[in-house]
Amino acid sequence: MPNKKLTGSFVALVTPFDKTGQVDFGAFRELLGFHERNGTGAILIMGSTGETSLLSPEEKKAIIVETAKMKTAGMPLFYGCTGNNTDTTIANVNFARDHGADGAILAAPAYICASEGDIERFFLDVADATSLPLGIYNNPPRVKTDLHWDNLIRIFKHPNYVVHKESTTRVGQVAQVLAARTDVSVMCCDSPNLGLVVPTMSLGGHGTANMTGNLAPAELATISKPWTGYAEAEGFKNAYLGLLPLLHYTYSAINPVAVKSLMKAVGLPVGDLRRPLTNLEGEALAKGVRIIQELGLDKRYAYKIQPLSAIAA
């Protein structure tokens, strides 16, 4: 990855499946091209939006190998590489490094509910064992462990860490990390329920690590552009307020149920969710389609939408 701070819209991509339920690499290429044409700054593959916990180890390796061949200089590809322990995570990260990844995003290992001190050591041990640029996803709703800004600031002194995604509701945490003037890009989740996007960007954040960009990439690129003056702030305000209905919709069901269901409904090549997850149907799905149409996104992106009567049936 070029020695350049990540900024803008960092989209957590869905994992596309074909009609047989297998990973669809042709669709991956199409989706990556869609994002590059519409201003996405970087892509995360195999995050929670990518149904990573539902992929087999063999599928994860194949996804890294094949999608890394599709990357371009203008849009870095990061991969979710968290394993169930430190050694597995190190192996995952170095596999990604050896096969062309630009970076890896790590969360605390799920289910073990480790202490903050143990997870701080986990992040540092992984960083010591690789040369790949790394990011941290502080996401306590998914993994229980919640890192305090003191933990994060100490971790970010390690030169391998380049990006932080915050998914708590603590504006103060984002402020403290930014005030510490670490070298990492400070980003936040795009969920309007967390309430982090406005304060993060106004305090000097570098972008958003989002999943609504799967459906509205250009709009998220505007929302995620760092503020250098009034023009960016005004563009942010207009885009963010306008997109609120879609932001609320994409977080109306556990990620990625709403976003992937709606992507399929508008004609993007994503396939179905992997069992036991199921796609939204009926009125729950039709509501999302109406939002897409009311915002004019169907015309902007030439989405191919069935009649609402058929979707809601």
Catalytic residues, by residue number, are: 137, 165
Q: Are 196 and 174 in contact (CB under 8 A)?
A: yes
* Residue with tokens 């790394």, as numbered in its chain: 134
Q: Is 68 exposed, middle or buried (0-12, 13-18, 19+ CB in 10 A)?
A: middle
Q: Does the annotation place 49 within a ligand binding site?
A: yes
SS3 for 213?
helix
Q: Is 278 exposed, middle or buried (0-12, 13-18, 19+ CB in 10 A)?
A: exposed
- What is the number of alpha carbons within 13 Å of residue 119 lying toward its C-beta? 28
Q: Which of 34, 16, 36 is nearest to 26 (CA)?
A: 16
CA dihedral 108, 109, 111, 116 (to 10 degrees): -40
Annotated binding site for pyruvate: 49
Q: Which residues are annotated as a binding site?
A: 49
